[in-house]
């Protein structure tokens, strides 16, 4: 999972930045499907263990743009359209390694499979997918999937059937646990999901999938199930499907350049103005791009943004660390007497190596750190045009904001297996300049 998240999040950041226009004048923003929310997942454990199922909490971000998309547990880049019915994409999808909770922090077997997808839309709601995927250890699978999407005024339903060819190396690693050889096989599966918009931007969704394991896997000594199943139940906020006017009419894209100082203090201590200084003075510099998604949320004047970026943790007591983030951010602007904005974001963060202070905290608690964690961002911005417009640079300063932000990584109190079942994380207090264009 560690190397494969690099592929996905670099892809996300690069494509987010690619949609930024060079023209300083505000540009129209295309309407896209987006969502932010959380889901509860329950899945069967295929192995011979006392526990027969495992659950996890999954915060998710959804952005179905062109050419880049980030669909919760899947992300990709649409590379080529050889015809009106074909789309070729580079993509990755998370695969959960379902084992008892008490083993997940130590093993951390969830990973992303990455590769190429060809999608064919012959007619109506139907599509046919052919995928060739692999983890970064070279364990390959190929999927042939037939699916369909049906949409009503407030609902969307999806269904699919799939044949998955798994190589011997894949089955040996994920089911033989590298202790016994497992031959290649074909796993058959089906699934479906239903999303219902309750009101305005608020929605509920449910998803269920089942797969009949291939005979080589069923014969493996560690496996004692013939089939596996997983179910998701979640809620969140998304674009309003009943809206008849453009979602974005005033909000503008932005770049945010920040510099921050790591603190060993908790998020609660920071909010109570009790943050301690890191004695080693670890620091981070970051650059974020914000892409507007909506001017309102639930009828309120809350701007919604896709918020993607990269941070560099400077080498102080370890080598430099690259951090990549993809999130959805909300802003509320207070117009008087000086414009200021309150912001909050939620998403995923991945690092090339565990930052020094974070590693020390988690290892002191007995955890194996995880490179992939949940990301939160809290900010307060002041408009420089309102503060210093008298100096004669009204147009530039009117688009520029001076801000303070809290950059937070954590694993949601041991509730998320994809984040390593960890309690704890790290915080960076930042100051930044943000420019709207």
Q: What is the pLDDT of residues 343-352, one digit of tens each?
A: 999 999 999 9
Q: Report the pLDDT value the prediction gives residue 241, as an integer from 0 to 100.
A: 85
Q: How confident is the model at residue 252 (pLDDT cuts 50, 70, 90)?
A: very high
Q: Report the pLDDT value the prediction gives residue 242, as an integer from 0 to 100.
A: 83
Nearest residue to 63 (alpha-carbon basis) of 29, 97, 112, 86: 29
In a domain, 23, yes or no: no
Q: Report the pLDDT value the prediction gives residue 105, as an integer from 0 to 100.
A: 94
Q: What is the pLDDT of residues 104-146, one digit of tens each?
A: 999 999 999 999 999 999 999 999 999 999 999 999 999 999 9
Which residues are registered as beta bridge partners of 133?
115, 141
Q: Report the pLDDT value the prediction gives residue 335, as an integer from 0 to 100.
A: 87
Q: What is the pLDDT of residues 275-311, one digit of tens each?
A: 999 999 999 999 999 999 999 999 899 999 999 999 9
Q: Report the pLDDT value the prediction gives residue 428, as an integer from 0 to 100.
A: 97
Burial of 311 (C-beta count, 10 Å sphere; 0-12/13-18/19+): buried
Q: How confident is the model at residue 9 (pLDDT cuts 50, 70, 90)?
A: very low
Q: Report the pLDDT value the prediction gives residue 15, as an integer from 0 to 100.
A: 44
Q: Report the pLDDT value the prediction gives residue 392, as an integer from 0 to 100.
A: 60
DSSP assignment string, 112-169? EEEEEEEEE--STTEEEEEEEEE-TT--EEEEEEEEEEEE-SSEEEEEEEEEEEE-HH
Q: Which two tokens stand for residue 120?
A: 């064919």
Cβ distance 293 to 247 under 8 Å?
yes
3-class secondary-structure state, position 54: strand
3-class secondary-structure state, position 7: helix
Q: What is the pLDDT of residues 190-242, one digit of tens each?
A: 999 999 999 999 999 999 999 999 999 999 999 999 999 999 999 999 999 88
In a domain, 2, yes or no: no
Which of 211, 238, 265 lies at the terminal end of a domain, its last residue? 238
Q: For residues 260 and 231, state if they share a domain.
A: no
What's the CATH number where 55 sits? Answer: 2.40.160
Q: For residues 360 and 226, state if they share a domain.
A: no
Q: Which two tokens stand for residue 286?
A: 């970051």
Q: What are phi and psi of 422, to 5 degrees?
A: -110, 150
Q: Report the pLDDT value the prediction gives residue 243, as an integer from 0 to 100.
A: 86
22 pLDDT above the threshold of 70: no
Q: For residues 194 and 46, state if they share a domain.
A: yes
Q: Report the pLDDT value the prediction gives residue 256, as an integer from 0 to 100.
A: 98
* Non-local CB neighbours of 160 within 8 Å, separated by 6+ positions: 145, 146, 147, 148, 190, 191, 192
In a domain, 36, yes or no: no
Tell me how many domains the chain contains. Answer: 2
Cα gap 231→307, rounded to integer Å: 29
Q: Report the pLDDT value the prediction gives residue 84, as an integer from 0 to 100.
A: 85
Q: Report the pLDDT value the prediction gives residue 27, as an integer from 0 to 100.
A: 56
Which of 238, 264, 287 lies at the terminal end of a domain, its last residue? 238
Instruction: State the average pLDDT over residues 383-407.
Output: 84
Beta strands in 239-387 (DSSP E): 254-263, 283-294, 302-313, 321-334, 340-351, 372-383
In a domain, 356, yes or no: yes
Cα gap 110→361, rounded to integer Å: 23
Q: Report the pLDDT value the prediction gives residue 398, as an integer from 0 to 100.
A: 87
Cα gap 224→217, rounded to integer Å: 9
42 pLDDT above the threshold of 90: yes
Q: Report the pLDDT value the prediction gives residue 26, as an integer from 0 to 100.
A: 53
Element (H, E) at 207: strand 202-212
3-class secondary-structure state, position 107: helix
Largest pairwise CA distance in the chain: 78
Which residues are registered as beta bridge partners of 97?
none
Cα gap 114→5, rounded to integer Å: 10
- Torsional sign, CA 283, 289, 290, 293: negative
Q: What are phi and psi of 3, to 5 degrees?
A: -75, -35
Q: For residues 296 and 369, state if they share a domain.
A: yes
3-class secondary-structure state, position 336: coil
Instruction: State the average pLDDT over residues 26-48.
Output: 88
Q: For residues 147 and 206, state if they share a domain.
A: yes
Q: How confident is the model at residue 25 (pLDDT cuts 50, 70, 90)?
A: low
Q: Report the pLDDT value the prediction gives residue 14, as an integer from 0 to 100.
A: 44
In a domain, 248, yes or no: no
Cβ distance 340 to 402 under 8 Å?
no
Q: For residues 48 and 139, state if they share a domain.
A: yes
User: Token pair 């998304």 is at which residue?
Assistant: 238
- Cα separations (Å) of 70 from 13, 35, 60, 200, 372? 11, 10, 9, 22, 16
Side-chain-facing half-sphere of 15: CA atoms under 13 Å: 23
Range of the domain at 229: 41-238
In a domain, 61, yes or no: yes
412 pLDDT above the threshold of 50: yes
Element (H, E) at 315: none
User: What single DSSP character describes residue 186?
Assistant: E
- Cα separations (Å) of 181 from 173, 177, 215, 251, 265? 8, 9, 13, 56, 48
- Average pLDDT of the residues of the chain: 91
Q: Report the pLDDT value the prediction gives residue 153, as an integer from 0 to 100.
A: 85
Instruction: State the average pLDDT over residues 365-382.
Output: 96
What's the CATH number where 298 sits? Answer: 2.40.160.20
pTM above 0.85, yes or no: yes
Q: What are phi and psi of 295, to 5 degrees?
A: -85, -15
Q: What is the pLDDT of residues 50-99, one digit of tens each?
A: 999 999 999 999 999 989 999 999 999 999 998 889 999 999 999 999 99
Q: For residues 65 and 210, state if they share a domain.
A: yes
Alpha helices in 158-246 (DSSP H): 168-174, 215-218
Q: For residues 409 and 379, state if they share a domain.
A: yes
Q: For residues 144 and 270, state if they share a domain.
A: no
Q: For residues 230 and 289, state if they share a domain.
A: no
Q: Per mean pLDDT, which range of 10-14, 334-338, 375-379 is the poorest?
A: 10-14
In a domain, 139, yes or no: yes
Q: For residues 226 and 328, state if they share a domain.
A: no
Q: For residues 302 and 231, state if they share a domain.
A: no
Which of 192, 211, 238 lies at the terminal end of a domain, its last residue? 238
Nearest residue to 158 (alpha-carbon basis) of 199, 211, 205, 219: 205
């Amino acid at each position: 999972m560690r190397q494969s998240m690099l592929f996905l999040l670099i892809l996300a950041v690069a494509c987010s930045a690619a949609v930024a226009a060079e023209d300083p004048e505000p540009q129209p923003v295309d309407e896209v499907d987006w969502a932010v929310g959380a889901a509860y997942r329950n899945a069967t454990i295929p192995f011979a263990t006392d526990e027969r199922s495992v659950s996890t909490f999954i915060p998710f971000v959804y952005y179905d743009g062109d050419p880049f998309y980030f669909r919760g547990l899947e992300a990709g880049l649409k590379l080529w359209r050889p015809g009106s019915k074909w789309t070729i994409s580079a993509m990755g999808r998370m695969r959960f390694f379902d084992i008892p909770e008490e083993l997940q922090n130590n093993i951390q077997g969830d990973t992303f499979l990455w590769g190429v997808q060809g999608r064919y839309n012959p007619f109506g709601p139907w599509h046919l997918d052919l995928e060739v995927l692999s983890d970064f250890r070279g364990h390959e699978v190929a999927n042939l999937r037939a699916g369909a999407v049906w949409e009503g005024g407030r609902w969307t339903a999806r269904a699919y059937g799939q044949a998955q060819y798994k190589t011997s190396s894949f089955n040996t690693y994920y089911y033989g646990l590298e202790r016994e050889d497992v031959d290649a096989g074909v796993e058959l599966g089906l699934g479906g999901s239903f999303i219902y918009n309750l009101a305005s931007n608020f929605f509920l969704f449910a998803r269920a999938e089942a797969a009949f394991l291939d005979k080589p896997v069923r014969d493996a000594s560690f496996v004692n199930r013939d089939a596996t199943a997983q179910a998701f139940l979640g809620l969140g906020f998304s674009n309003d499907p009943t809206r008849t006017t453009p979602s974005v009419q005033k909000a503008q894209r932005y770049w945010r350049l920040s510099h921050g100082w790591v603190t060993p203090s908790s998020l609660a201590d920071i909010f109570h103005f009790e943050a301690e200084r890191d004695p080693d003075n670890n620091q981070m510099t970051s650059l974020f791009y914000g892409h507007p998604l909506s001017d309102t949320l639930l009828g309120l004047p809350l701007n919604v943004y896709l918020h993607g970026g990269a941070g560099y943790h400077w080498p102080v007591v370890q080598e430099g660390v690259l951090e990549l983030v993809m999130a959805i951010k909300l802003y509320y602007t207070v117009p008087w007497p000086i414009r200021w904005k309150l912001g909050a974001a939620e998403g995923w963060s991945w690092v090339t190596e565990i930052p020094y202070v974070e590693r020390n905290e988690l290892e002191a608690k007995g955890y194996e750190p995880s490179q992939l964690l949940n990301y939160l961002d809290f900010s307060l911005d002041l408009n420089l045009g309102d503060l210093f417009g008298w100096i004669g640079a009204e147009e530039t300063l009117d688009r520029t904001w001076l801000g303070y932000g809290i950059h937070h990584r954590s694993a949601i109190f041991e509730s998320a297996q994809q984040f390593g079942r960890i309690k704890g994380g790290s915080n960076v207090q930042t100051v930044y300049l943000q420019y709207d264009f």
